[in-house]
Amino acid sequence: MKQLNKIENIIFLVGSVLMVVGSGAQLFVQRWAPYVFAMGAIAFVLMQLKQRYEGRNVVIRRLRRMMITSDVFFLLSALLMFANQGNFFGIDRLTYISYVHNNWVVTLLVAAILQLYSTHRISTELDREAKKI
C-alpha cells in the first residue's frame, strides 16, 4: 500500500476526528454537526483514496474495494445527516420518517464495520505478503 506523507496523515487524522465530533454532536441535535461530519468525511475519504495498492494480491484488492464501499457509506451518512435537519428531499412526512429520519446511524454503522474489518485484514495480508519476500 502506498503510504501517506506527513501532511496527508494529519489531514487523515483530522478528518477522522471531525467525523467523530460531528456524529457525536448530531446525537445532541446541533445544527452545525452535519457540516463538521461532512468536512471530516470528505477529508478522510480523499486521503484513503490516495492510498493505492499496486500489488497483485487478490485478497487485498477485494478488501480495498470493501474499504471504498465503506467510504461511500461515510459520504451517504453525511448526506443523511443533512436530510435529518429537515425534509429537503421533498417527500411526504410518513415516508421521510420511515426512510430518512435518523437512518444516518445505520449507514455510519455499516461504514464503520466495513472499515474496521477491511483495515484489520489488509494489515494482516500485507504482513503475510512481506514475510513471503
| Per-residue pLDDT at 93 | 83
| Per-residue pLDDT at 101 | 80
Between vectors from CA 4 to CA 14 and to CA 61, what angle results, nearest 5°?
A: 110
Sequence-separated (6 or more) residues with CB below 8 Å from residue 37: 18, 19, 21, 22, 23, 26, 77, 78, 81
Residue type, 41: A
pLDDT tens track for 53-86: 988 899 999 999 999 999 999 999 999 999 888 7
For the chain, residues with pLDDT lower than 70 are none
